[in-house]
Structures are given as C-alpha cells and as structure tokens.
Amino acid sequence: MRSAVNGAARRILLGVIGRPHGVRGLVHVHSHTEEPADLTAYGDLSDAQGRRFLLRWRGAGVAEITLRVDGNEVKISDRDAAAKLTRTELFIDRDRLPPADEDEFYLADLVGLTAVDKTGAELGTVQTVHDYGAGASLEISRNGNSLVVPFTRAVVPEINLSAGRMVIDPPAEIITEGGAA
C-alpha cells in the first residue's frame, strides 16, 4: 500500500482490484482496510482517472463491481470486462474517513510531515508511505535526495501531526559520514 496525494484532494488507497473470479464478472479484491469487509462501507470508490466503482462482496475477498458513469450504473458481468480492471487501485477522499482515535493516525496523514533527527536537524519531508506487507516504510525527500526508513517505533519515536513534524532516529546502516544517506 502506498498513501497517495492526488491533485488538490488527498486520496487514500483502500484497495486494489485483482484477477477475475469465474466467468460472470466477479473479481478478487485486495483490501487495505483493517477489516477487509469494511472496504464496501465507504460507498463509491474511485480510480486514478476518477472512474467511480461500487463493490458488493460475494465471497471472501471476491466482489461484484458496478461502474458508475454519468449517473448510470454498469455492472461488470463478464470475465473479459473484469480482466481489464485487474490492478485498478481504489481510492477514497481522506475527508470521508472517520476521525482517528486519540494517539492514532492514518498512514496518509504522515505524507507532508517534516522529518527531523533527534537533534532537531531537518532530514526532509515525508513524500510517500510504502507498505508491501512486511511493514511500512517512509520515503523522505530533501533537495532531490531520498531516504527510506522503516516505519517502526524505534526509528520513528515521535509523531506530532498538529506541529507537522516527526522525529526520525535512522538505523546506523543508512547513515553516511555527512548524515543520513
């Protein structure tokens, strides 16, 4: 999963349409929500081009897809149409998500924060949050250089969303003579 900022609106990647399931237009859907079934609770989802999708679960990880076009609903009803949607990323606008609990946050809220080291020296700005299943990592950029650090409490001991900053204690493996690599 990566947290994305698309255009003026912050859009959050909630899932990805996978391969077709059967011949009647059903697809596998990979949800990035804590509870996969919650993906459908948000109503319409959209892709990077702005197409709107409505999902209805038909089995564990298998959904029926309806495409909403100009006020009309077009149900994906055959395998070929479903196959064309493979790898389609499904987004929601950040403001449609419920508020996070105290001391919690959405990974997308980290994008744009200033990263500083333990001494307060600026390391850069969080550009992207990557999560490929083995744990999240943060991509921090400054002056055209990127630093990728694991998103763990040991490496990121402090996050202050209201101040727009986080403290990074990079592992020794990614430190160079001149500071963070």
pLDDT tens digit string along 120-177? 999 999 999 988 778 889 999 999 899 999 999 999 999 999 999 999 998 887 755 4
**pLDDT tens for residues 17-40?**
999 999 999 999 999 888 888 899
Per-residue model confidence (pLDDT) at position 175: 59
pTM of the model: 0.73
Rg of the Cα atoms in the chain = 19
Residue 29: C-alpha distances to residues 17, 39, 42, 119 (Å): 5, 10, 15, 44
Q: Sketch the domain layout of the chain as residue ranges.
A: 4-96, 107-180
The region of weakest confidence among 11-15, 53-57, 113-117 is 11-15
- DSSP label at residue 78: S
pLDDT in tens, 58-103: 999 999 999 998 889 999 999 999 999 999 999 999 888 888 888 7
79 with 104: CB under 8 angstroms? no
To which CATH superfamily is domain 4-96 assigned? RimM (2.40.30.60)
- Alpha-carbon distance 147 to 62, whole Å? 37
Q: What is the CATH number of domain 107-180?
A: 2.30.30.240
The predicted pLDDT at position 101 comes to: 85
